[in-house]
Amino acid sequence: MKFQKSIIEFGIIGLGRFGFSLAKTLAEAGKEVLVIDNNENKIKQIRHLTENAFVVGPLDKDTLMDAGIQNCATVIVCIGENIDVSILTTLNVISMGVPRVIAKAISYEQGQVLEKIGAEVIYPESDMAVRLANRLVSSSTLETIELRGDFVVSELKMTSRIAGKTVLEANLRQDFYLNIIALEQDGRTTTDITPDIILKEEDNMVVIGKRENIRKFELYLTKK
């Protein structure tokens, strides 16, 4: 095992179905990811996506530090089934001073304990790993729903880059090949999207299109 010293964006502990999907989605989005698991085969399967993939034994504090978990900006503990291991591992990560710790829970009671020790809690279903990854990748993305054929529906928060423009002037269909299907302004949501609607900073817009085109629009929104 090699030591990690520089700051890494995301650390993932546990490569079950949820953890693997999360690591894969983050890595494919160009994020730096550190993953650890006690199963060598699972680590081998993820190594083509990240060099920072390590087989570990017990998830005690020394082992976690050797892997470099303390150098991650965000750590997601994806151990839901082994409740005692989940809680102790989460506690160890928090005690290392990691700025943001997210933990998977499979019951409300487990989630309550994880919240009390200072973790953000998620109760994932089969598709929630991809949704979480998309939220972590872009602060402008509020929610994403996967469709077939690489199409997604995403809810995005508007920024000053687009504020003051009308829907017609924003020209999402021609510039980004996206269609607006809903818009939330001043706490009210409409699906009647007319060309003369003036977009505001902090509006929430729901669009449909290919993932790569939504990413281009996200970059446009956050570019300074």
For the chain, domains (ranges, CATH) are 8-134 (3.40.50.720), 138-222 (3.30.70.1450)
Residue type at position 198: I
- For residues 187 and 167, the answer to whether their CB atoms sit within 8 Å is no
Question: What does the pLDDT read at residue 5?
Answer: 53
Of 75, 78, 74, nearest in space to 124 by CA: 78
Q: What is the pLDDT of residue 3?
A: 44
**Pairing mode, if any, of strands 179-185 and 204-210?**
antiparallel
**Per-residue pLDDT at 219:** 87
pLDDT value at residue 211:
83
What is the per-residue pLDDT for 125? 57
pLDDT per residue as tens, the chain (224 positions)? 444 456 899 999 999 888 998 898 888 888 899 999 999 999 999 999 998 999 998 889 999 999 999 999 999 999 977 888 999 999 999 999 999 999 998 888 888 899 999 999 888 754 455 555 665 555 555 555 655 556 777 888 899 999 999 999 999 999 999 988 888 898 888 888 899 999 999 888 888 888 889 889 988 988 76
CB atoms within 10 A of CB 99: 9
- Give first-to-last CA distance, the chain, whole Å: 40
